[in-house]
Each structure stands twice: as structure tokens, then as C-alpha cells.
Chains A and B, each alone.
Chain A
Amino acid sequence: MTTTALAWTTLLAPLVAAALIACFTLKHRALSAALAVAGIGTGLVCSVAMAFRILGPGDPVREMHEFTWLASGGVTLKFGVLVDGLSVLMSLVVTGIGLCIFVFSNGYMKGERGWSRYFACLSLFAFSMLGIVFSTNLVETFIFWELVGVSSYSLIGYYFERPSAVEASKKAFLTNRIGDFGMTCGILLTFFTLAKAGIPGVSPSFTFTEIAPVFHSGVLKPFEADLALGAFLVFTGAMAKSAQVPLHVWLPDAMEGPTPVSALMHAATMVAAGVYLVCRTYFLFAPYEWPLHVVAGLGGATAFFAATMAFTANDVKKVLAYSTLSQLGYMTMALGLRSPSAAMFHLTTHACFKALLFLCAGAVIYGCHHEQDMRRMGGLRKKMPVTAWCYGIGALALAGIAPLSGFWSKDAILGAASGHSKPLYVVGLCVAFMTACYMGRAWWMTFMGEYRGGEAHAGDAAHAHAAPAVAHAAPAVHASHDPGHDAHGHDAHGHDAHGHDAHGHDAHGHDAHGHDAHGHDAHGHDAHGHDDHGPHGAHHGGEPQEVPWVMRGPLVVLAALSVVAGLLNIPAPLAAHGAHLEHWLMGTAAKPGPSWFPEAPPEVFHWDVAIGGTIAALLGIFIAWKFHGAAKSWSVDRFVAGIGPVHGWVERKWFFDDIYLFLVKRVQQPIADFCGFVEKRFLKEIVVDGIAVVSHWFGRQIRLLLDGHLHTYVTMALIGVLYLFVMLFATAHAGPGR
């Protein structure tokens, strides 16, 4: 097989799997799962094969296969696959992490309704993402970009019986549409500017490999203003997908999807797309200054704000969601700091450990019977040792502790920041500190101490007033399962065993949140079909249990990857031949075309940066231990009191949702009302209705002429004929020329 054929196979295998599932195996659970896993597995095998061909010992090569999709009026749209270091790396991430998540889903989704739909959507998601990865041109990228949006919509809204999930999927979709609109404008602006430029020998094109050399060559200098704006607009697309401030609001809400979906979205597919897009179209950004400054600034802001928000989250998944936001901010910052290879490196390592962390969270949620609130966890280290170990590795990697993978990639970004922009370097260090701190908090709350799940939650009432908005994410999960599984006979096991849920919710005053609709206060766990979770029915006590091997396996694999992924790009003084990943991504001067990223000095290891980052991380862990460790020597409440209003700001998520709400209610709504007024009062009642009224009136008058007498009609016809005669004579005699 040629390299491009391998790429086509990688791309199409998940699509074929999705199509087969949708068409034939909706009723066969095992077959659906097997097809999905086989699809992504094929992709992984082909990606590895491609990696061996592309990333051989010599210079990396770039291969492309493209065919014309449609041609019209001088614009040719093409479709194809582009295989180089960048796309192969990303494809390895998507298929490798994807495979782990697909396998994990086999355990996590056990007994869920819509199992086959889930796997079909998952495969479609992987296909869409791989489409972006292998895309050869901007239009193809945009098509798959939209497909990613659609498939994420279907997966975030997987539990479509639950209003909050529907809201979340809508929010994700609409927020992404804002970015997509910007991206469309950016693509068109770039294309038409190229067309307008009319540089000899350069035909306007969407294909990356054709336009990249033009941008690199510098002949487009006179069109800098338009092209820089185009680059920024393309970035707005990335901003929405990769959840950068201010378009990040959809991401925390997207936790409504099943946990493996969150893992997939946060590691390999959705949010990685934005960073990948900017890397792929880096030639658009590289020649200009201000778009990259905006990118770096937004990245830093996202990293910082999201890290603070992670402290107030009590949902085991939400912490990770904010952490993803923050790490995406890191990547975007690296992009803005002209260090795309560092961004891709962090993307790769982050994909490993964030997928790991999410799957661990999924395992915890599964083991704790769909409990998501960390305040009702604790002590799980003894009950779920494998999960705890894996989570620990993931958390340490995320915190950036040497020699785990996160250390190397974070170090690369901090190194780039220290070289380019001191303020961003400080922000980066702060974020490193906060990352370690909130991950420590999550670790101690979830895995250390004593299990708090079974207690009546007297203590929670105190917390409840602080975070009413966050806490009700947990009960909503229970609503996801269908009623009517009593037939399984699990009621006999006495679901009072799960009664802690019900206690907890009452204590939180969830009735006020309208969860009555789900029958929550009725202790009605049988009504929620909780019993459908096969193994859950087996243990009665509500004690957390280690998850089955189908879920533990992927965790262990991902944990191993999280440890070693840093080896990809260990910089110069420490490794013999310098940073491999960077070498692959830079793509040297191999044919066709010049290197993908602008020339930059090779990355080297800075001891000061590494020590600074490590100190920040260790300090963060230490402080987390002080607050949340066994001794609890420092009190969170006193700290919260100490920082005063800041805590409230963080808890309100820095008012982003409020700002959007304000914009929608106070700005957009009046405009809409005004337009509605104009439309209703002026356009409808005056223009449209006015024409109708006048016509009607004339009709009524003219109607009277027709009195039903044949003679009247004949007379009128006669008058008409006479008139015609008169006119004929008049013109015949008046017009001299006739």
C-alpha cells in the first residue's frame, strides 16, 4: 500500500464502521462495539505504518493525494489526504487515544440505551477528526470541521431525555457556530485576497501545499492588512473548537455527555482540532505580528482563568474540564509564541494524560454508582487501587513533575514563553502552580482520606450554599437512564442501598432546581433504571468497587503512555540528537515545498525554566496537601474568607456566562424586538397589508361594472373597439412618420 492509501484507509475505516453500525447492527450490541473498535483499530495500525514511512531516519517526507471534487467558475475545490509529520502525529493521537477510549466505553456504557448509536457517533466523531487531520485544503478542513461540530453535538446530547444535556449540546453547537462563521470569513478573505493579488505564477487555491510557499516567500507584503485579518478570522474557528476565552463557555457544559466522550473530546478530537488547525495553517499566521499576539494573549488568559475556575469545581469531571481549558490555553499560548512544535508536543502528551484522567474519572463515577461529586468520594485509593494509581500518574503528568511526559511539554512551552514574553512566562508559571494545586485537591478529595459517600451529609449543607450551581450536575446523571427496567427484577435488591444519593440531593435542596420532574425526591431509583447496570446490581452496599478489566486495561495503557510520551521530544543537551518531534514537524527542506513551520532555532533545555516550573508544581502540590491532605492544617473556608470577593468571581466563572446572558437578554433581545417591531408594524401591517387593502378596495369598486347583463358587456366591448379605432385614426393622422 502506498502511504496515501494508508491515509485513506485510516480516514475511511471509522466512517465505514459508523455506516455499518447505523445501517445493519443497531440491534446487535456486541457487533456494534466490535465494528467501532475494529474501525479505529484499523486506523491505528495504518497510522503506525505511516509513521514508519514518514518518520524514517532520514528527512521527513510529505505525500499528498488529491482529486478534484468540483470545479466552477475558476474555483476548484479538491479533496484529498496530506501525509506529513504533523498529520501522522495527530492521526496517531486520534486513533491511539481513540482506541483506548472505545475499548473503555465497552465497560462504561454497559447497559445504556442507545449503545449502538453511541458507538456509531463515536466512530463518526473519529472520522470527522481524522478528516481535519488529513485534509489538504481549507475547504475540506472546513467540511470536516463542521462534521466534528455535528458529531460532538450528537454525543454531548447523548442523554437527550435530560434537558441539561440538550442545553449543553445546543450551547456547544451555537458557540462553535460563532467560531465557524469567523473561520468561513477568514477562508474566503484569504482566498479572495490571493485572487486579488494576482501574483504571476500563483493561482488562487485553497490547498495548503500550494499557498504555503506563497506566504513564506513574502510576495504578499502589500496585502498584509487583509491577510492578517484573514489569519485572525481563521483563528476564531480554532478559538471556538479549542475553547479559548471568550468562546470557551461550551466546554464545561459539555460534561453532560458520557465520560468517555469527554475523554475523547478533551484529548484527541474536538479541542485538539483548533490547535491542529492553527499548526496546519501556520503559514497564514507566521508572516504577521498582531494575530499571533492575540493568539498568545488569549491563550494566556484562558490558561489563567480556567485554572482558577478549576478550584471551585466539585464535580470530578468539571475539574478536568477546566484543566483542559487551561492546558489548551497553554497550547494556544505556545502557538502565539511562534512555537507550534511545542504546542503540538503538549497536545500529544496532554492527549495521553487527559484521556487517562477522564477515563479514571469515568471509572470512579462508574465505581461509585454514577456519583460525580468529589465531596461524596474520598478514600477510593484502597477501593479502586488501579484507578487510583493511574489517576495519580495522570495528575502528576498534568502537574508537570519530571520525568513524566507533562513535564517535558510544559517545559517546552515555558521555555518558549521565557524567550519571547516575560509576562506570559509569569502567567505560565502561575498556571503551572495552580494546575498542580487543583489536581492535588482533586486527588486528595477523591482518593485519599475516608470514603464519604455513605454518610448522611450534614457537612454538605455548609458547602451547598457555596456552590449550588455546580452541585446539581451530579443528580442529573440519574435521570439519564430510562424508566421501566423493573422487569429486570433488581428492585428486589433494595435500592435503598443507593439511598445516599437521595439524601444528598435533598440536603442540597435540589427540589428547588426542578429535579422533581425526574422523580428524584421520590427515592425512585428503580424508576431511573439504575438497575440496568448489570454489575451494579450485584453489590448491594453502595461501596465503590474497582472497575472491570475492559476499563482498567485502557487506563494502564494510557498511564504508560503518559509516562513515556515525553521521550518524543526531549531537547538537545539531554538527548543525543535533539528534539525528534520538532525535527519531524519542522519537515526540513524535503520535497514538496519548504518546511511547514517557519525556521526557528532548535529547542534547547533551559535549566532555569525547568527548575522554575518544577518548583511551581511542587509548591502547588504542597499547598493542596496543606488544604486537603489528611491533616487539613489549613482551612479552605478561612482562605475563601481571606480572598474576599475574588472567590465569588471565580465561582461565577469570571462572569462569562453572565456576560453572555446580558448580551443575549439586554442587547440581542432589544435589537430582535426592534426588528420584530419594524417587521410587524411596518413591513407587515403597512407595506404588505396595505397593498392588499388597496387592491381589495379597487376590486370591490371594479366588480360593480359587471352587472350580469350581456348587453352591458357587449356595449363595453363596443366602446373599447371604438376607442381603438379613434386611437388608430388619431395616430395615423398625427404621426408624420407613419
Chain B
Amino acid sequence: MPPVTTAHYVMLSAILMGVGLFGVVTRKNAVIVLMGLELMLNAANLAFVAFARHHGNLQGHVFTFIVIAVAAAEAAVALSIMIALYRLKGSITLDDAQELKG
């Protein structure tokens, strides 16, 4: 079995990013969109860590921890917005929330 190189990690990261982006762009359900967002964030985390390992320093880890912390807050805020949206509209389909269109 060939050794796992940085390129593998980066490719996995790219795949995760693609999957997450696909979810965000195509899905109408807000929760699924949020999940896609989380996938994209973690793809970035993976890339950070991979490059940190590649360069042998800790800067990537630092970013990763920050991203994890922010992602937690973001998830909390996003979920509460969804609850508010559900109370308002009775659904969390994104197409229902378009009051701000131009």
C-alpha cells in the first residue's frame, strides 16, 4: 500500500469541498445546506492540517482550532435562525424566505 502523502489529504479535502458545495447549491432544505457548509469548513480544516504537517509547523493547527470554534458558533446561530424561520413560515425551505429580493 503506497504511503499517504500530502497530495492525498489535499485531494480528500477537495472532494469534501466539492460535496459540500454541491449540497449548498442544490439543496432547498436549510438543514442540508448547513450540513454542506459544515463539510466545506471541514474540508478547509483538513487542508490546513495537511499543509501544516507538510511544512512541519503548527500554524495550520491554530487556524483549524479557530475555524472549529467559529463553526460551532455559526452552527448555533444558523440553527436558531432556522427555528425562527420555521416559526415564522412553518417550513425551512429556503425558497420560502425571499422577502429581501430586489
Nearest-CB distance from A502 to chain B (Å)?
76
Contact A718–B25 (Cβ < 8 Å): yes
A705, A709, A710, A718 interface centre (most CB from chain B within 10 Å): A710
Complex: A709 Cα to B30 Cα, angstroms: 12
Decide yes or no whether A714 CB sits under 8 A from chain B.
yes
Q: Which residue from A702, A706, A715 sits with its C-beta under 8 Å from B101? A: A706
Nearest-CB distance from B17 to chain A (Å)?
11
Which residues of A in the span 468-490 have a Cβ within 8 Å of any Cβ on B?
Answer: none
Complex: A705 Cα to B101 Cα, angstroms: 9
Nearest-CB distance from B86 to chain A (Å)?
16
Complex: A704 Cα to B102 Cα, angstroms: 5
Q: Which residue from B21, B94, B98, B101 sits with its C-beta under 8 Å from A718? A: B21
Question: Number of B interface residues, CB 8 Å?
Answer: 13
Contact B24–A708 (Cβ < 8 Å): no
Contact B102–A710 (Cβ < 8 Å): no
Decide yes or no whether A711 CB sits under 8 A from chain B.
yes
- Number of A-B residue pairs with CB-CB distance less than 8 Å in the complex they form: 31
Which residues of A in the span 691-738 have a Cβ within 8 Å of any Cβ on B?
Answer: 702-711, 714-715, 718
Q: Mark A310-325, 1 if CB is under 8 A from B, else 0.
A: 0000000000000000
Which residues on the B side are within 8 Å of A709 (C-beta)? 94-95, 98, 101
Nearest-CB distance from B19 to chain A (Å)?
14
Q: Which residue from B21, B94, B99 sits with its C-beta under 8 Å from A710? A: B94
Contact B25–A715 (Cβ < 8 Å): yes
Complex: A707 Cα to B33 Cα, angstroms: 18
Question: Number of A interface residues, CB 8 Å?
Answer: 13
Contact A711–B102 (Cβ < 8 Å): no
Q: Which residue from B24, B94, B97, B102 sits with its C-beta under 8 Å from A707? A: B102
Contact B102–A703 (Cβ < 8 Å): yes
Contact A710–B101 (Cβ < 8 Å): no
Decide yes or no whether B88 CB sits under 8 A from chain A.
no
Complex: A710 Cα to B25 Cα, angstroms: 9
Q: Which residue from A708, A711, A718 sits with its C-beta under 8 Å from B100? A: A708
Which residues of A in the span 553-589 have a Cβ within 8 Å of any Cβ on B?
Answer: none
Contact A706–B102 (Cβ < 8 Å): yes
Which residues on the A side are within 8 Å of B25 (C-beta)? 711, 714-715, 718
Interface residues of A (CB under 8 A from B): 702-711, 714-715, 718
Q: Which 3 pairs from chain A and chain B are nearest by CB?
A: A708-B98, A708-B101, A703-B102
Q: Given known contacts A706-B102, A711-B25, what 15 new A-B pairs fall within 8 Å (CB)?
A: A702-B102, A706-B100, A707-B98, A707-B101, A708-B97, A708-B98, A708-B99, A708-B101, A708-B102, A709-B95, A709-B98, A710-B97, A714-B24, A715-B25, A718-B25
Residue contacts A-B, CB under 8 angstroms, 16 given: A703-B102, A704-B102, A705-B102, A706-B100, A706-B101, A707-B102, A708-B97, A708-B100, A709-B94, A709-B95, A709-B98, A710-B97, A711-B26, A711-B94, A715-B25, A718-B25
